[in-house]
Amino acid sequence: MGEKQVIEINSDQLERLADLANGEKQIEIKSGSLKDHFLTYSYELLVGVMKGDELTRKGVHIVHDDMLEAFKQLDVFLAHIDGLYHWTNNQTPIHELEEFEGLENYYVTAFKITGTEENKSVILTGGKMGVYGTIGFSTPKIKLDNSNYLYVEELQNRLRIVIEQVEAYMNGKTAPQYEQLSMNFEAGDSDDDEFNNAKVD
């Protein structure tokens, strides 16, 4: 019989294994920023001896189109908070806001979540295109729980999708990478002979 192998696991590793077994989240996404189809994001460690630490990573892979679409779904909130829809009332559904032609001038490039538990808020950053150029700006903190913001439920749902896309990016979901195809041509000896023996009149 072969020798038995002994695997040593320290208390921190054991705690992480237990968390994984219980389905407990290991991290929490805190921010994400898009620039030239690349993502910079930060997350907080939720378990282990370094619990509470916040780490920032700068992605070197182009994001998937799903990520771009998820960010685009936040544009309407940036436009709403900027006052684009001053003609609306508290009964206007969000899909009607998205049909307004002025929305195409707004874009969200980043989000940042602040606070903890029931005091969480989000800040959206982006810009709007005007006649004389682009103006960049950020929203005030928008509370996500017990909020008086009119479209907070829609904001929560769409922000959750963005966060899911950031988590997927961490796990390798990026834009498709196409390998360059190469073609190999095998020249026969007869072709070489014909070329070498060719005469120029």
Residue-wise pLDDT tens digits, 126-183:
999 999 999 999 999 999 998 999 999 999 999 999 999 999 999 999 999 876 555 5
**Highest mean pLDDT of the ranges 5-9, 73-77, 146-150, 173-177:** 73-77
pLDDT of 51 reads: 93
Q: Give the mean pLDDT of the chain.
A: 85
Neighbours of 109 (CB within 10 A): 16
pLDDT of 7 reads: 45
pLDDT of 200 reads: 56
pLDDT of 139 reads: 97
Ramachandran bin of 179, using left for φ above 0, alpha for ψ from -120 to 50, beta for the remaining angles: beta
Residue 44 has pLDDT above 90, yes or no: yes
Which among 8, 20, 61, 71 is positioned nearest to 38, based on CA atoms? 61
Residue 83 has pLDDT above 60, yes or no: yes
Handedness of CA 175, 73, 117, 142 (dihedral sign): positive
Residue 49 has pLDDT above 50, yes or no: yes
∠ CA(61), CA(64), CA(67), 5° rounding? 115
Amino acid making up residue 46: L
**CA–CA gap between residue 77 and residue 159 (Å, rounded):** 11
Work out the pLDDT band at 17, boundaries 50, 70, 90: very low
